[in-house]
Amino acid sequence: MKISFAFLAAVAGGLVGCSQRDHSGASLSAKPHGNLTPKVATENGRLIFLTGRDRDGLKIVAASPPLRPSCAACHGANGAGGQKFTDGAVSADLRHAALAGKQKPPYTIVSLERAISHGIDNQGKPLDKVMPRWKLSQNDLSDVAHYVYAYLK
């Protein structure tokens, strides 16, 4: 929770890249292991989303073998989605305006994590089975949810 809060605070403050240094040295000061800094969390989330491997090189896995290895392979690198699958499913638009703007109720980090890991959407309904039920560590789950929530525009 501490990590998420710090990360959200950084995002809410509109702090990006090196400007973080000016405002909150604390959130950027590199701690080699254990304590994830927001920057590392973002990078890990980005890696998972784009490549299907986390920063340790571990391949992400799901409850049943996923049709494709990474989020980007189905949702597109920018998260726009729109890819059609044989069972009629269409990959969802994961950009912020779609998830937190158009959707009712808007997705939150918590409901995003639930969608990614349990395939339950923001209204409590099961997502199409083409969307894998990902089995991620809590860190990886949180990082990829934050990446989707804050970085897909």
Site track 130-149 with ligand HEC (rule: CB under 6 A), x = hit: xxx-x---------x---x-
- By C-alpha distance, which of 79, 72, 97, 31 is closest to 6? 31
Site for ligand HEC, residues 41 to 60, rule: CB under 6 A: none
Beta-bridge mates of residue 1: none
Whether 108 and 145 have beta carbons less than 8 Å apart is answered as: no
Whether 142 and 4 have beta carbons less than 8 Å apart is answered as: yes
Nearer to ligand HEC, 85 or 151 (CB): 85
23's enclosing H/E stretch is helix 19-23
User: Which range of residues in 1-9, 19-27, 29-37, 123-131 is near ligand HEC by CB under 6 A?
Assistant: 123-131
Binding stretches for ligand HEC (CB under 6 A): 66-68, 71, 73-75, 85, 89, 91-92, 94, 112, 115-116, 121-122, 127-128, 130-132, 134, 144, 148
